[in-house]
Amino acid sequence: MSADTLFSIKHFNTVSSTNTLAKDFAIKGEKEFTVILADSQTAGRGRLGRTFYSPENSGIYMSIILRPLLSPADTPLITTAAAVAVCRALKKVCRITPEIKWVNDIYYKSKKVCGILTESSINVTCQSTDFVILGIGINLYENDFPKEIADIAGALFESPPAEETKERLTAEILGEFYKIYLNITDRSFMEDYRNYSLILGKRVFFRKNGEDFYGRAQKIDDDARLTVVLENGEECVLYSGEVSVRLA
Ligand code: BTN
């Protein structure tokens, strides 16, 4: 089946959060590849308890219900796969070369234009994954970013793009994601993940257990673990979800 016919899209004007709504649908048994798409979110959520600014018609806010046959240990692959899918789609539709800031932020012209939030429901008894909600938020054009994010947030276009561009981009992201998802455990998409990396080879900073660290981002392995060589020569391996890394 092709991605065009596979995904079933439920479009809403305003929701609290497409991830929250998708989760409610998934709990009620909604099928895999159902996509919740909204024109705006009143309580868009980001990683680490942050909010995601989602004003009306300024971005793509969508969440996909997945029911992967993956062990809980492999579900983080979905986030990295989504980051690669977004980059491939942006390259194809917008003819730009975005960059991935480990783990899952997409940057363009040094500003964050896309965030990804993946939330899993695990069956503890079976140690299996019940469902995963893959949420993707893209800033299409700048619409009065609040001052807290004004320095970091950016957008793909300078003015609102045509509805057709928005639809094409949404469709390409879903299509590119599906292509990877079919054989996600082979991790072949990680090569592209590294190619799109914003931080590899660069000087980075992160804070862990209240301590500040500086070093060089040396490698990202096929499980998206990042090795940083610290200033004292020690190697530090970082796991996704553990810390947030920025360029130093
Ligand atoms: C982040 O940058 O920390 C992740 C942001 C994820 C935002 C998207 S928008 C669609 C979906 N619904 C949400 O509430 N969050 C995700």
Residues whose CB falls within 8 Å of the CB of residue 13, separated by 6 or more in sequence, listed in order: 38, 39, 40
Range of weakest confidence among 19-28, 114-123, 173-182, 235-244: 235-244
Give the SS3 label for residue 110. coil
Does any ligand 1 atom lie closer than 6 A to the CB of residue 117? yes
User: Which ligand 1 atom lies nearest to the CA of residue 20?
Assistant: 14
Average model confidence (pLDDT) for the chain?
Answer: 94
- 185 CA distance to ligand 1 middle (Å): 24
- How far is it, in rounded angstroms, from Cα 1 to Cα 33? 12
Averaged pLDDT for residues 113-131: 91
Task: Tell me the pLDDT tens digit for each residue of 125-144.
Answer: 878 889 999 999 999 998 88
Residue 240 has what pLDDT?
A: 73
- How far is it, in rounded angstroms, from Cα 207 to Cα 186? 32
Best residue for ligand 1 mutational test, from 17, 52, 136, 174 (most atoms within 8 Å of Cβ)? 52
**Adjacent-strand bridge partners of 76:** none
- Prediction pTM value: 0.95
Q: Are 200 and 219 spatial neighbours (Cβ–Cβ below 8 Å)? A: yes
Does any ligand 1 atom lie closer than 6 A to the CB of residue 44? yes
- 110 CA distance to ligand 1 middle (Å): 19
Task: Tell me the pLDDT tens digit for each residue of 146-193.
Answer: 999 999 999 999 999 999 999 999 999 999 999 999 999 999 999 999
Query: CA dihedral defined by 134, 135, 141, 147, rounded to 10 degrees?
Result: -140
User: Which ligand 1 atom lies nearest to the CA of residue 50?
Assistant: 3
pLDDT-above-90 percentage for the chain = 83
